[in-house]
């Protein structure tokens, strides 16, 4: 996933707010968990019933300040699948520079909560 962060006022001009970085890692990781669930079941991504995941745990390590200029890239990998729980690791880059890494424990929502 590539994103160009919004140019809104920041506490530290020229750098991306840490909460946005955590949100990007969280969102991309729960999406990766859903994709992994579809793949594990041999189903197409748009097939019913849908797989939806929520965050049970989010941990982010900020490696270096993330510049506001240019595209940000998030890459994620499935570390483990155990029943309804998927553990995903993710990295956020500005260009080729690693700026943050995270781990998300995502849990599949029960189907009755999707209505």
Per-residue tens of pLDDT for the chain, all 115 residues: 666 665 555 566 788 989 999 999 999 999 999 999 999 999 999 899 889 999 999 999 999 999 988 899 999 999 999 999 999 999 999 999 999 999 999 999 987 776 6
Residues marked active site are found at 26
φ, ψ at 47 (rounded to 5°): -80, 155
How many angstroms separate the Cα of 100 from the Cα of each of 9, 57, 70, 77, 89? Answer: 21, 16, 16, 15, 11
User: Against a cut of 0.75, is the pTM above it?
Assistant: yes
């Amino acid at each position: 996933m590539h994103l160009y962060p919004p140019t809104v006022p920041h506490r530290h001009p020229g750098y991306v707010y840490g909460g946005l970085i955590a949100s990007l890692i969280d969102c991309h990781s729960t999406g990766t968990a859903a994709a992994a669930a579809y793949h594990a079941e041999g189903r197409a991504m748009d097939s019913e019933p849908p797989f939806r995941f929520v965050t049970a745990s989010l941990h982010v390590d900020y490696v270096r300040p993330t510049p506001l200029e240019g595209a940000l890239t998030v890459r994620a990998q499935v570390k483990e699948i155990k029943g309804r729980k998927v553990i995903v690791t993710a990295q956020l880059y500005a260009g080729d520079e690693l700026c943050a890494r995270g781990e998300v424990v995502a849990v599949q929502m029960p189907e009755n909560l999707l209505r």
